[in-house]
Amino acid sequence: YLDPNVALEYAQKRLELSNQLNSLQTKVVAYRQLSRIYALMLNYEKAFEYKVLENIYTDSLNTENSVRKIERMKYEYELGKK
């Protein structure tokens, strides 16, 4: 059993690290953790706030991944034409 306050500290540190690394994936995980922790602490307003941020950054991550796939497909297509 982990104290929610300790879990909260670790999740906040993860968020800080994700900001330093500029890592969308780590940021999504941190927001998901913060949302769940605040829900467990019955702080539903904060839980909702972090859930919204998780969704926003998940969308950004999905868009980024889609752009990469399209660029790779273009490259492979152009390479195949030669």
Return d(Cα 37, Cα 28) in angstroms, integer: 14
CB neighbours of 53 closer than 8 A, spacing ≥ 6? 31
Q: Let me know: does 38 contact 52? Beta carbons within 8 Å.
A: no
Residue count (the chain)? 82
Predicted local confidence at residue 39, as pLDDT: 97
Q: What is the mean pLDDT of the chain?
A: 92
Residue 27 one-letter amino acid = K
pLDDT, tens only, 41-74:
999 999 999 999 999 999 998 898 899 899 998 8
Angle between helices 24-40 and 44-81 (to 10 degrees): 160
pLDDT, tens only, 3-47:
999 999 999 999 999 999 999 999 999 999 999 999 999 999 999
Predicted local confidence at residue 77, as pLDDT: 85
Which residue from 53, 19, 63 is spatially nearest to 33, judged by alpha carbons?
A: 53
